[in-house]
């Protein structure tokens, strides 16, 4: 699929974004470990979350679609079945890492694989603590790369684990494994990362407490199925927010967006740059804060993005890099080396594609230095990365001519309706096969 984008006079109207991808993964996984039925509204239809559902079904979980709702009949903490075939996580690192945590407490053998991109992504950081908890795990290249073979255990060892770097996925895998541990599992964060797993487990009734970045979980405590309403994904909303800020004369209302404080770094950074964003009608859905976002076009200035803020905007760096191209002065992104092992090397990809659009950008080992200026339309590519594809589409809205984004079908991973939502707001986006 190819996206063809031309500049717009303004974007106006209101919209919704897909259900939060991170929360959807966790609702399905925790719901499958509960006893009884879990009913989920607004589950993400993206390819990544569908992979999680397919893997759970292969493990014996009954999943039903009813009137737009997702119903999961839980298997309890360790009632899963050994799969007959490989578990395929597709492009989803979240599926692979969190599923390894769940499987640590299951007394059978399984193999998890993924697409070529996922098979290049290192998994050592999640494998190491799970081996300490009693799982037998084997992988390629010094036990780091998928496919991954795992045999779980009935006797999961509780651990006290200090996360070497902020990682919600590693933390979540340890906590899911800890649900089957005899005793207390403790995870210590040096910097906080997104806390959807902790909130979800608490909402389901798990014995989990948090104090001063120390998370304590008592294992072997059954949890009960719940009713879940998934907020809109702020990482998807980020592309619409940036587009509304960048295209002159724009005003867009994005409804029902999750504003978990570990995820609102995108709002903080855009405001630092000078963006006008109002957070309206704040409320709570199953332990997650939700609001409507009113975004207006604004003049931006360059900023520095680094720790401790960086972990809260890691997924949003591609769209923030595009915002930086329209900002006055330089934007410096640091402490983002982890972006080199995402769906692609996002730092290299961003530098390569933005240069095609006449952006002055310097690539660092852990980030980028971007100088604001006029974008020129170009033929660019997504590198098979959904966030790259959407970020480049937003760049096309402020470039001088028609921008063509190749290999844009990857958008389906997180935001299948992105072109239609943008067109409804007034964007000139055309999809070609």
d(Cα 325, Cα 316) in Å, to the nearest integer?
A: 15
As a residue count, the chain comes to 433
- Beta strand 227-229 with 37-41 is parallel
Chain centroid to CA 199? 16
Instruction: With both helix axes pointing from N to C terminus, report the angle between 346-356 and 317-325 in degrees, rounded to the nearest 10.
Output: 30
Beta bridge partners of 371: 330, 360
Beta strands in 81-143 (DSSP E): 87-88, 109-113, 136-139
Sheet holding 227-229, edge to edge: 62-66, 69-73, 37-41, 227-229
Which residues have a Cβ under 8 Å from the Cβ of 433 and sit 6 or more positions away? 1, 2
- Beta strand 184-188 with 160-162 is parallel
Is 412 a catalytic site residue? no
d(Cα 29, Cα 27) in Å, to the nearest integer?
A: 6
What is the full DSSP assignment across 306-359?
-TTTGGGSGGGHHHHHHHHHTSBSEEEE-S-GGGGGSSS-HHHHHHHHHHHTT-
Q: 21: closest CA among 169, 163, 166, 130?
A: 169
CA 8, 12, 17 angle in degrees (round to 5)? Answer: 105
d(Cα 133, Cα 153) in Å, to the nearest integer?
A: 9
d(Cα 392, Cα 352) in Å, to the nearest integer?
A: 12
How far are the Cα atoms of 158, 297, 419 from residue 233, in angstroms, in the given order? 33, 21, 16
Q: Of 315, 335, 385, 407, which is the active-site residue? A: 315
Residues with catalytic roles: 315
């Amino acid at each position: 699929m190819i996206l063809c984008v031309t500049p717009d006079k303004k974007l106006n109207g209101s919209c919704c974004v897909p259900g939060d991808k991170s929360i959807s993964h966790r609702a399905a996984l925790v719901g499958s470990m509960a006893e009884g039925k879990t009913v989920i509204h607004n589950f993400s239809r993206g390819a990544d979350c569908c992979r999680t559902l397919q893997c759970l079904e292969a493990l014996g979980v009954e999943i039903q679609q009813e009137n737009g709702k997702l119903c999961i009949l839980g298997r309890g903490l360790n009632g899963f079945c050994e799969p007959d075939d490989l578990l395929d996580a597709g492009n989803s690192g979240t599926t692979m890492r969190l599923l390894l945590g769940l499987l640590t407490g299951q007394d059978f053998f399984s193999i998890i694989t993924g697409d070529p991109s996922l098979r290049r992504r290192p998994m050592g950081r999640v494998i190491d603590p799970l081996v300490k908890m009693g799982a037998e795990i084997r992988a390629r290249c010094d036990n780091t790369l998928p496919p991954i073979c795992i045999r779980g255990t009935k006797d999961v060892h509780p651990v006290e684990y200090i996360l070497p770097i902020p990682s919600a996925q590693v933390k979540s895998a340890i906590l899911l494994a800890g649900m089957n541990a005899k005793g207390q599992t403790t995870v210590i964060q040096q910097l906080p990362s997104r806390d959807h797993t902790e909130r979800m487990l608490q909402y389901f009734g798990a014995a989990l407490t948090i104090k001063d970045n120390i998370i304590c979980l008592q294992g072997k405590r059954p949890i009960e199925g719940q009713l879940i309403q998934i907020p809109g994904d702020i990482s998807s909303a980020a592309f619409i927010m940036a587009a509304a800020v960048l295209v002159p004369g724009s005003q867009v209302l994005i409804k029902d967006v999750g504003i978990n404080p570990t995820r609102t770094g995108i709002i903080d950074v855009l405001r630092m740059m000078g963006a006008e964003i109002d957070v309206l009608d704040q409320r709570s859905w199953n332990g997650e804060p939700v609001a409507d976002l009113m975004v207006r076009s604004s003049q931006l200035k360059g900023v520095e993005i680094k720790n401790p803020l960086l972990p809260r905007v890691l997924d949003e760096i591609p769209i923030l890099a595009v915002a930086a191209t329209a900002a006055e002065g330089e934007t410096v992104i640091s402490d983002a080396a982890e972006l080199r092992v995402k769906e692609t090397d996002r730092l290299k990809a961003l530098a390569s594609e933005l240069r095609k659009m006449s952006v002055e950008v310097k690539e660092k080992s852990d980030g980028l230095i971007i100088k604001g200026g006029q974008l020129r339309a170009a033929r660019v590519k997504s590198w098979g990365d959904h966030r790259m594809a959407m970020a480049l589409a937003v760049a096309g809205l402020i470039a001088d001519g028609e921008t063509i984004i190749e290999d844009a079908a990857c958008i389906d991973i997180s935001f299948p309706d992105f072109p239609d939502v943008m067109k409804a707001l007034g964007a000139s986006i055309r999809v070609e096969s």
